[in-house]
């Protein structure tokens, strides 16, 4: 069964049930002789109503761009809390929340109700034409949870990358300075602009050049990879890495990107795709000082860290620092496409009318989903739940993982904030340590223990991203499946 599932996921043959209705399309008529001779193309007609999950998957795989990588070929029919249900009846524990999106779990009834009611009222009240009530309600509710009252003006878009683009546009418009500083291992999206800011993996940018110019990359304090082997010693703090990274920033401003050309620095307070690496408070505070000294805007990309994921509404609150622009998306609307930026009114007021907008930006149904999400935050005390479940996860991982792994000469860096948990595996190069253990655990978890879990970064890292309302019993269950997967992988080593 397991082998069959794996083989299926790997090969995904084009379904034999495709009905080729040949020659129903006439040859393309065009005056160009080059096209006039092109053969007629058959239309593939596929009856999804009677297809099995495997057939649906094969059809999807064949007709969706190969540019999308995916963890599995399950075809999902519905979700409920931490569970995903496939068309063929498979039930899978989702420890990914759709990459940090469904913060209230799949299909939370409060969010569903808010969406249904708004869809019946008006789904699309276009922002360049009119205002709509859900957006105004949302602004007033979001102001209550902003890290600082100065972040009182908003622009809404659909995806995280779009919101990062909005931040870029605002930074350049407001400062009239074009250079942007980003950080090594950062991920900001897949548009041409945002992939130019992304350095977590080359796959996100390879082959797409030329990218946006005037982007400069600064290092981050990453204690586990401390170049001086100081911060990664037992009991050491991370001050060496913090001081080094701040010095490198000062040098970058002297050697590559002059302050008078530099509009903004964009940072994730916890590197997401880059490996769930929390940025130390002293580093974020140091950047704030450098920005203030040099008239540079500090932009916090909280697309993944935002809305309670790290135990506070915004991860910058842990430092605390106040960014000039805060970017949000993902968990804000429990699965509906909503993103945006919050900034100071004096900056936003510099934007000429018409320079911002977008057909679906701040969609009314998505805003209603965000309002429903905020209702759940209050009603279920999600921040309180993140605190106790985070302790449960970290407590268990710290007391169990190192001893299980030590027998195999593998070490693990357990890190993160709140319910943004990273596990980076490494070994001293003994025969037993096989690079790729994180991916193996993830595939074993799915194939054998029906749990979806993600890897991340160029290192051997797993990331755990449960819903913020995960229960104690569900946390225990997630850990049980994780340990079982790990033991299986180690047993094979």
Ligand X SMILES: Cc1ncc(COP(=O)(O)O)c(C=O)c1O
In the bound complex, what is the minimum distance in angstroms from residue 272's beta carbon to ligand X?
4
Closer CB to ligand X, residue 304 or residue 385?
Answer: 304
Q: What is the dihedral of CA 40, 44, 45, 47, to 10 degrees?
A: 170
Range list of H helices, 65-190: 97-100, 109-121, 133-145, 160-175
CA distance 441 to 490: 9
Closer CB to ligand X, residue 99 or residue 281?
Answer: 99
In the bound complex, what is the minimum distance in angstroms from residue 195's beta carbon to ligand X?
10
From the list 96, 467, 150, 179, the residue with the least C-alpha distance to 316 is 150
Instruction: Give the pairing of strands 262-267 and 451-452.
Output: unpaired
Instruction: Give the pairing of strands 297-301 and 325-328.
Output: parallel
Residue nearest to ligand X (CB): 160
What lies within 8 Å, CB to CB, of 38 at 6+ separation is: 27, 28
Closer CB to ligand X, residue 240 or residue 309?
Answer: 309
Instruction: Give the pairing of strands 262-267 and 297-301.
Output: parallel
Closer CB to ligand X, residue 195 or residue 489?
Answer: 195
From the list 99, 161, 171, 148, the residue with the least C-alpha distance to 314 is 148
CA distance 70 to 57: 12
* 83 strand-pairing partners: 80, 93
Closer CB to ligand X, residue 92 or residue 164?
Answer: 164
In the bound complex, what is the minimum distance in angstroms from residue 187's beta carbon to ligand X?
5
CA distance 166 to 180: 13
From the list 275, 283, 271, the residue with the least C-alpha distance to 239 is 283
In the bound complex, what is the minimum distance in angstroms from residue 164's beta carbon to ligand X?
5
In the bound complex, what is the minimum distance in angstroms from residue 301's beta carbon to ligand X?
5
Q: Are 377 and 460 in contact (CB under 8 A)?
A: no
Closer CB to ligand X, residue 268 or residue 447?
Answer: 268
From the list 419, 415, 418, 406, the residue with the least C-alpha distance to 486 is 406
Closer CB to ligand X, residue 79 or residue 272?
Answer: 272
* CA dist 340 → 132, 138, 302, 421 (Å): 16, 12, 10, 25
Closer CB to ligand X, residue 12 or residue 99?
Answer: 99
Where along the sequence are the contacts to ligand X (CB under 6 A)? Answer: 99, 159-161, 164, 187-189, 268, 272-273, 301, 303-304, 329
In the bound complex, what is the minimum distance in angstroms from residue 376's beta carbon to ligand X?
21
In the bound complex, what is the minimum distance in angstroms from residue 189's beta carbon to ligand X?
4
Its sign, for the CA torsion 63, 68, 70, 76, is negative
In the bound complex, what is the minimum distance in angstroms from residue 225's beta carbon to ligand X?
20
In the bound complex, what is the minimum distance in angstroms from residue 267's beta carbon to ligand X?
10
Closer CB to ligand X, residue 18 or residue 417?
Answer: 417
């Amino acid at each position: 069964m397991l082998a069959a599932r794996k083989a299926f996921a790997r090969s995904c043959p084009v379904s034999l049930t495709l009905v080729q209705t040949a020659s129903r399309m006439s040859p393309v008529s065009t005056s160009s002789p080059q096209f006039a001779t092109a053969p007629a193309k058959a239309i593939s007609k596929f009856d999804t109503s009677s297809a099995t999950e495997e057939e649906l998957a094969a059809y999807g795989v064949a007709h969706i761009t190969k540019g999308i990588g995916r963890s599995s070929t399950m075809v999902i029919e519905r979700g409920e809390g931490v569970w995903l249900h496939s068309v063929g009846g498979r039930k899978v524990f989702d420890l990914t929340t759709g990459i940090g999106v469904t913060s209230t779990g799949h299909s939370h009834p409060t969010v569903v109700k808010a969406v249904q009611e708004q869809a019946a009222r008006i789904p699309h009240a276009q922002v360049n034409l009119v205002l709509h009530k859900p957006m105004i309600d949302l602004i007033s509710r979001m102001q209550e949870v902003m890290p600082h009252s100065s972040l009182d003006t908003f622009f809404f878009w659909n995806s995280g990358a779009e919101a990062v683009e909005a931040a870029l546009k605002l930074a350049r418009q407001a400062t009239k300075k074009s250079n942007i500083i980003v950080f090594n291992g950062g991920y900001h999206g897949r548009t041409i602009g945002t992939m130019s800011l992304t350095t977590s993996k080359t796959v996100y940018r390879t082959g797409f050049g030329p990218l946006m110019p005037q982007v400069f990359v600064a290092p981050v304090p990453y204690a586990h990879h401390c170049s001086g082997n100081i911060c990664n010693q037992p009991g050491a703090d991370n001050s060496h890495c913090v001081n080094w990274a701040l010095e490198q920033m000062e040098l970058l401003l002297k050697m590559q990107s002059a302050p008078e050309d530099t509009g903004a620095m964009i940072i994730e307070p916890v590197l997401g795709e880059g490996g769930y690496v929390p940025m130390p408070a002293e580093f974020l505070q140091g950047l704030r000082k450098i920005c203030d000294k040099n008239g540079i805007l500090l932009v916090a990309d909280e697309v993944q860290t935002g809305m309670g994921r790290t135990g506070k509404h915004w991860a910058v609150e842990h430092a605390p620092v106040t960014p000039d622009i805060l970017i949000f998306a993902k968990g804000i609307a429990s699965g509906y496409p909503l993103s945006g930026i919050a900034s100071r009114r004096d900056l936003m007021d510099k934007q000429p009318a018409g320079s911002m907008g977008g057909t679906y930006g701040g969609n009314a149904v998505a805003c209603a989903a965000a309002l429903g999400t905020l209702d759940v935050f209050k009603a279920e005390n999600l921040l309180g739940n993140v605190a106790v479940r985070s302790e449960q996860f970290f407590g268990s991982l710290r007391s169990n993982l190192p001893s299980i792994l030590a027998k195999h000469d593998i070490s693990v860096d357990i890190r993160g904030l709140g319910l943004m948990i990273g596990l980076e595996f490494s070994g001293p190069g003994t025969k037993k340590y096989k690079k790729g253990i994180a991916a193996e655990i993830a595939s074993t978890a799915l194939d054998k223990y029906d749990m979806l879990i993600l890897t991340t970064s160029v290192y051997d890292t797993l990331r755990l991203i449960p819903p913020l309302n995960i229960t104690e019993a569900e946390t225990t269950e997630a850990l049980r499946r994780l340990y079982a997967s790990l033991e299986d992988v180690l047993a094979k080593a």
